[in-house]
Amino acid sequence: MCFSRQFDKDSFQINSYFDTILLALIQFSNTIIELSKKNDDILKESNEQIDKLRADMKIIDEGLNQLKKRYDRIYGQEKDAAKCPDIVTQSGFTASRYAGVWYEVYRNTILFELGAKCVNATYTLQNDGSIGVFNQAINWFGHYTSINGTAKVKNSAQPGSLVVNFDSPRTQGDYNVISTNYDDYALVYSCRNFFFDWFKWESIWFLSRTKTLPAETVDALKNILSNMGVSTSKLKQTNQNC
């Protein structure tokens, strides 16, 4: 009888432990289910946020494409040539032979020269090896305008690759002499990429010691640019009737 009572007591305790464990398992299971539901909600919310971000990125991408198209229309940039080409300047360029007066005969669309005519430049060799720059033109409004600057060689290995610093307003620009015979013609080119290389800013000048260039010389200079991968479709003749 005592044994039976002890057995009943032990059995009751075991059942009690089992019930406790079972209850804990049920509670744990419920907790897992709740957490799973919350995770599903979080995941759903995260997916919704990701979808929204993707939609926003699509809008931004479309906006940038429209901006590029507008830039192309205004400044004549070629859609399939966003990066600047490799620039190789004239071998053995000699600044002393290049000095003197040059007339602009052709140029592409250049913001600071819009509407300008009678454009010419005078280059003077300085004692320190730099080149004095004096540019003149008649601007869009028919007024005479000029600017002074200094050109310096960027790399002695390429003496035809220069950088020009203008005095007022203080601006800077590249000046690469691609080809010249010093006596008749010069092809000058500059290019800079910006905004993650999505765009480029090109400047092209055909210069002459006189106010004109023979058609065969113009064609030869265009061929040089084409071989560089540079479009010549936006080149316009500069009005030199002044």
pLDDT digits (tens, 9 = 90+) for 146-190: 999 999 999 889 999 999 999 977 889 999 999 999 999 999 999
- CB-CB neighbours of 35 under 10 Å: 11
DSSP annotation string for 48-82: HHHHHHHHHHHHHHHHHHHHHHHHHHHH---TT--
The pTM of this model reads 0.67
pLDDT at residue 43 in the model: 54
Beta carbons of 161 and 154 less than 8 angstroms apart? yes
> Taking 50 as the threshold, does the pLDDT of residue 41 lie above it?
yes
What phi and psi, each to the nearest 5 degrees, are found at residue 86? -70, 130
pLDDT at residue 20 in the model: 52
Distance CA 37, CA 52 (A): 22
pLDDT tier, 32 (very low <50, low <70, confident <90, very high otherwise): low
Q: Which fold has domain 95-237?
A: Lipocalin (2.40.128)
pLDDT tier, 37 (very low <50, low <70, confident <90, very high otherwise): low
98-130 pLDDT tens trace: 999 999 999 999 988 999 999 999 999 999 999
Beta carbons of 85 and 190 less than 8 angstroms apart? no
> Taking 80 as the threshold, does the pLDDT of residue 203 lie above it?
yes
pLDDT at residue 73 in the model: 64
> Taking 70 as the threshold, does the pLDDT of residue 15 lie above it?
no
Provide the 8-state DSSP code for 4: H
